């Protein structure tokens, strides 16, 4: 029985890792790494992050509070992002609220200024050449920023959270992005992707859920693609 449970747990996490994110855009996954430093840039990073140890310390406090393997660092961003998505996709509001409380503490403990200086792709590129991992970690926090702030009340409105976490995958939007994107200027394809997500979630869960899916993507890439808009 224990063996079977283990197999099921492994299967579930493998499925989740390869499954499109649904409400979370996975453009980091589907964009060549050399384009990511522009696309995942942020316009709030003035000044330097004190050190990688500084990030590691707050990351460890955060993940320990969630009961994750405390040896995971930002360099394990792909594993951390799977675990965060599992918590969100659990469909359990208490779990989601716990995740958001942990995010609020991470932000508060680090302090607003250092949060933006450290959780920033250019900060991580001082410590690594693994652009994809850096972008995945930054994007994970951006998603949490959005869903634990602007998106929070919307997710708490009756029926929304249950619908959003079970809504269909977004392969269609990803395929359209990949088919049309020109990486010299990916912004038109990003905008098309945002509208595609909007349509998907308005259809699946009713307006204005599509707007929130669109906004989450816009906030991730809007510093580089400066004229993106989401309409309610």
Ligand X SMILES: *[C@@H]1O[C@H](CO)[C@@H](O)[C@H](O)[C@H]1NC(C)=O
Residue ranges in contact with ligand X by CB under 6 A: 72, 75-76, 79, 182, 184-185
Question: Minimum distance between the CB of residue 75 and ligand X, rounded to whole angstroms?
Answer: 4
Q: Which is nearer to ligand X, 68 or 96 (CB)?
A: 68
Distance of alpha carbon 182 from alpha carbon 198, whole angstroms: 22
Q: Which is nearer to ligand X, 41 or 79 (CB)?
A: 79
Distance of CA 224 to the CA centre of its chain: 17
Closest residue by Cα to residue 43 from 231, 221, 227, 173? 221
Distance of alpha carbon 52 from alpha carbon 124, whole angstroms: 8
Question: Minimum distance between the CB of residue 54 and ligand X, rounded to whole angstroms?
Answer: 18
Question: Minimum distance between the CB of residue 153 and ligand X, rounded to whole angstroms?
Answer: 34
Using an 8 Å Cβ cutoff, are 220 and 142 in contact? yes
Q: Which is nearer to ligand X, 41 or 78 (CB)?
A: 78
Closest residue by Cα to residue 103 from 210, 95, 31, 219? 95
Question: Minimum distance between the CB of residue 82 and ligand X, rounded to whole angstroms?
Answer: 10
Q: Which is nearer to ligand X, 5 or 184 (CB)?
A: 184
Question: Minimum distance between the CB of residue 112 and ligand X, rounded to whole angstroms?
Answer: 28
Q: Which is nearer to ligand X, 151 or 186 (CB)?
A: 186
* Dihedral angle over CA of 223, 127, 63, 142, nearest 10: 0
Q: Which is nearer to ligand X, 130 or 202 (CB)?
A: 130
Question: Minimum distance between the CB of residue 71 and ligand X, rounded to whole angstroms?
Answer: 7
Q: Tell me the Ramachandran region of residue 22: left when phi exceeds 0, alpha when psi lies from -120 to 50, beta otherwise.
A: left
What is the crossing angle of helices 131-148 and 77-89, to 10°? 30
Distinct helix (H) and strand (E) counts, the chain: 14, 0
């Amino acid at each position: 029985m224990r063996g079977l449970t283990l197999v099921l747990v492994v299967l579930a996490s493998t499925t989740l890792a390869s499954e499109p994110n649904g409400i979370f855009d996975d453009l980091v996954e589907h964009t060549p790494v050399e384009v990511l430093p522009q696309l995942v840039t942020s316009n709030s990073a003035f000044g330097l992050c004190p050190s990688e140890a500084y990030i590691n310390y707050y990351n460890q406090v955060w993940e320990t509070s969630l009961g994750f393997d405390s040896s995971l660092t930002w360099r394990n961003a792909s594993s951390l992002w799977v675990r965060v998505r599992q918590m969100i996709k659990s469909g359990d509001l208490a779990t989601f609220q716990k995740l958001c409380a942990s995010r609020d503490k991470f932000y508060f403990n680090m302090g607003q200024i250092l949060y933006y200086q450290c959780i920033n792709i250019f900060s991580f590129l001082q410590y690594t050449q693994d652009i994809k991992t850096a972008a995945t970690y930054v994007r994970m926090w951006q998603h949490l920023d959005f869903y634990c702030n602007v998106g929070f009340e919307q997710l708490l409105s009756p029926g929304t959270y249950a619908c959003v976490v079970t809504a269909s995958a977004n392969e269609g939007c990803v395929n359209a992005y990949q088919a049309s994107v020109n990486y010299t200027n990916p912004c038109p394809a990003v905008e098309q992707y945002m509208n595609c997500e909007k349509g998907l979630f308005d259809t699946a869960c009713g307006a204005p859920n599509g707007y929130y899916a669109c906004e989450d993507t816009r906030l991730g890439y809007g510093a580089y693609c400066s004229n993106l808009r989401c309409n309610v």
